[in-house]
Structure 1
């Protein structure tokens, strides 16, 4: 289906452009990426993984999620083979965006068992999304406690996710401090605190009691400093490298900063010689083998190779997470399908429609340029079939 070209024996494929034209992309030779089944020594690295929808399920907007468990768990084994822990049931997995609580429970339970079997690290989100609208801060606290208890019982580390319900009912920073302080006093093991910015979820605007980032950060730091023994790290997704650098320098000793900045992660993980960020990134589900090669080089102190391996991943990640950022998970699922990790391109809640054909065509080109397509010809065939179904001639 791809046309042969003298520039490459693999062929070419045409991707659609917004002006009605097309661009011819020469398929690049796949790279034999080395596996890295053990965790990295110098950085803790979690990949936030997506869920694969069952293509025969009624995964339409508003319907309960029907998950392809074989493909979903297979993708997590792919991450384990490259040295990553899994951040489970986060926004990458469509938490609050189609993945309902019964599916979350099954996902975390299955993933925790698999992580133990592979000697891999797993952390999972605990929030308040299993109940409807809540009227009081006390009700939010109770909802959080239920999910925390469930995650702890599976053996996964707790990630305290930002709560839409708390953002809706809190009237001051003290409301946030009260809820989180109670939870941190109750948890069995240190947790990851997750600050997700409104770029990822507009309903979280004003989290920590202020729309002013400096004021919100002061409240956040007050919480972390008061409960540092119960905080393994903080995961911040505000897409501001400058803010992250300042925040990580202000954290108590021993509290990690897990970068959630999908636009600047290479420099933040590399560090400035005094501080560095660890990682909890949706981007690592898209650029897994390249990020693994970079982190393995960093373990050896080889900064030149680290930079060289990370560099091609950044244009791809920035495209996946371009505005509106909360639709990034569509690109993650599309790349998974192109790469042969799942049988079809469908998502729970029908979210496969959340990105345009032009956006996803460019995604293919960037993944091809970074040599992240394990079988470029398979990926090209799938792209062409999908474009034809969308009514775009390649």
Structure 2
């Protein structure tokens, strides 16, 4: 089904109101949307200690729960062998679950990138991607987890595979956290970096994203500076995120240097003028001291010309300092009118930005043969196969504008 060319104001407004409060998780969370039980995964040690007390146990039993969840990685309360049977039964009777979902399917690309499908309690499938990187210069290795924040996505950017599948619901904190655990168990390696760049718009599920972020940092010991929260731009939410003063990177999916072009690529941009977005990004840097990464997907003949690079450089000057441009050559999907630009076009765009003193990098495409590359997070089990593509060619025929 083709992506619509606009996002209706009423549904978007309702979704924005749902993100109006982003607070720390309550000691006893309410029942999760899409699930029949409350999840232990995602809770802190103080919360688990309080839960133990509430169920008539000693406080230290909460510490045991914490170890079972985050060290032993127990997947069911029935597997909590280090706590009394009566406590396990009390947890189950009170409607609690461990909060882990089974791996439905996993596929690994030739470069080691692995896409994992998790089957949630309500039988919906979500995707998460593990991206291994060996740093030859430092003699170390990194493992990045690209996590989803929603089942599908309501914003439907015109080039994105995820948005073409529609939107089902927000993910709960434990459903985000368990993605990292699944990647660690698959790779037998600790996740060092987390990017909220999978299925969904993180800022439209900011409360759950912030709770998962806290869990990654406090319980899984992943540094805040090792995490990136992405957004296409949702009014007021960048200000909300900045107020938490996290030491994480904000990645803004820009994709165009002017409002008119951006609205054709990102329909939801109609509710968020580019000037207001850039002002919020500038304030984010001033409040947090963390630079903003502007993600720019290069679409052949659409936004990849030299004049676009020049216009982008002028736009970024309004931000002051504290930004970086990350160029992403488009990864085609079946049924899309967009094409991947040629290598020399990408390089010309880079050269035009660098000539204007803009710090820029080109993202290395990963996981193409596993349908796991950025923009291709699409459930192959929903019968929407992705195209097998080659890297941008070094020689080219005449490029026909789209």
TM-score by length of 1: 0.42
Larger radius of gyration: 2
Structure with greater helix share of residues: 1
TM-score by length of 2: 0.41
Larger RCO, structure (CA 8 Å, separation 6 or more): 1
